[in-house]
Structure 1
Amino acid sequence: MSKIGDYTVLPLTLPPTTAYPKPARHTLYLRPHAPKIPSESDARSLFVVNVPVDSTPAHFRAVFTKLIGAGRLESMTFEHEKVQPSAPSQAVEVVSTKGKKRKRAANEGSAQADTELPQLWDRELRKSGSSAVVVLVDQKSVESALKAVRKLHKSSAAEEEKWPVWGEGVEDKVPALGSRRYLTHHKMRYPDPATLQANVDAFMTEWNRKEEEKARLAKRQRNVPDEDGFVTVTRGGRTGPARMEEAEAKRLEMEEKERKKKQELTEKPFYRFQLREIRKQEQAQLIQQFEEDKKRLMGMKEKRGKFIPER
């Protein structure tokens, strides 16, 4: 089966390991990327579902090299993870909220990026069943990749040796897993004192910059009245009086708002006792009107006298 709904099925061959000494099968699901918020690279992107837990850009580069040739994969974005750059010259991209914060830090300068804590793992692992976005060099490459997968399904009843082998040719390009991964993790838990000192210095530099910016903002607020006509009092006192014209205009505006609010409360009663009083007044007015109409009717009858028909 080459397609399931909108997805093109791409089986992968997992090589045997010491933990499981037999080849296994893992399935990827591909479709053209169509996010809710479009971007310029959507036309040349593929949305990939069910990525393996040990996925890296090098693994996917090897897979797409086997499908459509080398040099077609431009970058990758894993779900809720920081993107590993496909080349040293490319900037780091992100997808999650936390990652976006890191992206801004990278754009603002290397000094601010150094304020992050040292990494404790040499390689990121993915969540089971997670997704990724593969950006290729052009839209034609996307069509070629999907066409190549469909062609593999048709060729010789899709022989197993024709499917891409996961991790083939990238053994020396990515950090090792297993016990070596945890040995590396243990070493990275205790960074070099010089690296740690540089991280602390960068953090303090960034802290001082933010404090200075906060002080400048507070200084500007000392002379600007708020919407109620008051001037913000910050630590250190005021440097000068507020402009009297602005404060007077704000005061008149607030008085007008209060007058309109009181008028609305008077015209539209809210409390229950006010509604009872209004109903009593309306009832008294109706009774008074009825008595007046009754007296007027009696007066009209007296003036007219008794009616005597003609013979």
Structure 2
Amino acid sequence: MVARKRKRAGRNSEEGIPSPPGYSAIPIKFSEKQQASHYLYVRAHSVREGAKSNWPQKRTLFILNVPPYCTEESLLRLLSPCGPVQSVELQEKPDLTENPKEPKSKYFHPKPVQGFQVAYVVFQKPSGVSAALTLKGPLLVSTESHPVKSGIHKWISDYTDSIPDPEALRVEVDTFMEAYDQKIAEEEAKAKEEEGVPDEEGWVKVTRRGRRPGLPRTEAASLRVLERERQKRARKELLNFYAWQHRESKMEHLAQLRKKFEEDKQRIELMRAQRKFRPY
């Protein structure tokens, strides 16, 4: 029995920490008081051949199973010993798009992702990814020098951060509108360049921009438009009046028919009562 126990213990020590295929496990703890460890599963970020990615190859570390209490600042502090970190970004799920990413807004996307997340950590050198894959834990997320807020303190901090700074909000809105105006101007310039140029099949694209610009209205033209609108409203009111009158005439006609029906019934009853011929 003793030999079997020793054999099982040795097998567990050889296997080490369980992790998904292709990933390395890094144990972390929220603080020194926590006894059980949580595991981050990390690997070098890679995509299939021929596909594009928003993250630089050989310098990006992909992390699974990031707990809610682990912030971007915490990951930056935990992985800084491996090498200079360029950026850290948390997401709800892995990024599979190949389009360029738009910058995040602090004010128009305020709701954080609830639950466990994934993270992309970009190092300045590829050696940072190699060093992160060989990290041994457990690593502490919250320390005395870098405490992580939890409980009521985190709720108060989140509420304080939810109140935007008016000046910073104005700057962000102005920046967004400038970028939007520039994008519209580029699209209009591109449309003007393509207008009138036949494509491969000989078709010519025609847009509204090719028409003659409309002349501004004069005072007399504005008065004519207003007069047409007034006549249209008067005609609509007249049609509604006729419809109401038609309904009233129908109701009156039905009332007269019912009255005549009752009178005819009374007349028939009277004629039956006055007839003198009685065969029996």
Which of 34, 59, 74 matches 2:74?
Answer: 59
The answer as to 2:44 corresponding to 1:32 is yes
Of 132, 147, 151 in structure 1, the residue corresponding to residue 119 of structure 2 is 132
1:171 paired to 2:147: yes
CA change 1:221–1:35 in 2 (3 A) is closer
Give the partner amino acid of 2:69: D
Q: Percent identity?
A: 25
Residue equivalent to 1:183: 159
Gaps (5+ residues) in structure 2?
1-15, 213-280
Counterparts of 1:129 and 1:172 in 2: how far apart (Å)? 17
Aligned letter for 2:163? K
State the Cα distance separating 1:3 from its structure 2 match: 4.3
**Are 2:91 and 1:75 equivalent residues in the alignment?**
no
Equivalent AA in structure 2 for residue 164 of structure 1: L
Q: Residue deviations 1:229-284, cap 9 Å, x none?
A: 44333325469xxxxxxxxxxxxxxxxxxxxxxxxxxxxxxxxxxxxxxxxxxxxx
TM-score where L is the length of structure 2: 0.50
Q: Distance in 1 between matches of 2:147 and 2:26?
A: 22
The amino acid that maps onto 1:220 is E
The 1-side partners of 2:95 and 2:45 are apart by 14
1:118 aligns with 2:107: yes
Asked if the contact 1:58–1:170 (Cα under 8 Å) also holds between the matched residues in 2, the reply is no
Deviating 4+ runs (over 6 angstroms):
none
Contact 2:82–2:132 (CA<8 Å) still a contact in 1?
A: no
Asked whether the 8 Å contact 1:221–1:232 carries over to 2, the reply is: yes
1:45–1:182 distance in 2 versus 1, CA, 3 Å: closer
Query: What is the Cα deviation at residue 205 of structure 1?
Result: 3.6
1:80/1:96 contact within 8 Å kept: no
Match for residue 191 of structure 2 among 197, 209, 218:
218
In the TM superposition, residue 51 of structure 1 has moved relative to its aligned partner by 0.8
- Please tell me whether the aligned partners of residues 92 and 117 of structure 2 are also in contact (alpha carbons under 8 angstroms): no
Q: Give the root-mean-square deviation of aligned CA atoms.
A: 4.3
Distance across 1 between alignment mates of 2:98 and 2:160: 25
Q: TM-score, normalised by structure 1?
A: 0.46
DSSP-derived class of the 2:157 partner: helix
In structure 2, the partner of 1:102 is 102
Shift of residue 98, structure 1, vs aligned partner: 10
SS of 1:213's partner is: helix
Listed one character per residue, the Cα deviations across residues 107-158 of structure 1 (whole Å, up to 9, x for unaligned) are xxxxxx9xx683564xx74453432233345444444444342xx6xxxxxx
Amino acid at match of 2:79: F
What is the DSSP-based 3-state SS (H/G/I as helix, E as strand, rest coil) of the residue aligned with 1:58?
helix
Contact 1:120-1:185 at 8 Å conserved across structures: no
Q: 1:144 to 1:224 in 2, by over 3 A?
A: closer
Shift of residue 53, structure 1, vs aligned partner: 1.6
SS in 2 for 1:178: helix
Indicate how the Cα distance of structure 1 residues 24 and 117 shifts in structure 2: closer, same or farther if over 3 A, else same.
closer
CA–CA distance in structure 2, aligned partners of residues 47 and 80 of structure 1: 13
Alpha carbons 2:60, 2:120 under 8 Å: kept: yes
Does the Cα contact within 8 Å between 2:83 and 2:127 map onto a contact in 1?
no
- Any stretches of 5+ residues in structure 1 without a counterpart? 82-93, 104-112, 153-162, 240-311
Residue correspondence of structure 1 range 218-297 to structure 2 within 5 A: 218-227=191-200, 229-237=202-210
Shift of 1:23: 5.2
Question: Using a 3 Å threshold, how does the CA distance of structure 1 residues 118 and 222 change in structure 2: closer, same or farther?
Answer: same
Distance 1:221 1:179 in 2: 55
Task: Please state how far the C-alpha of 1:204 moved relative to its aligned partner.
Answer: 4.3
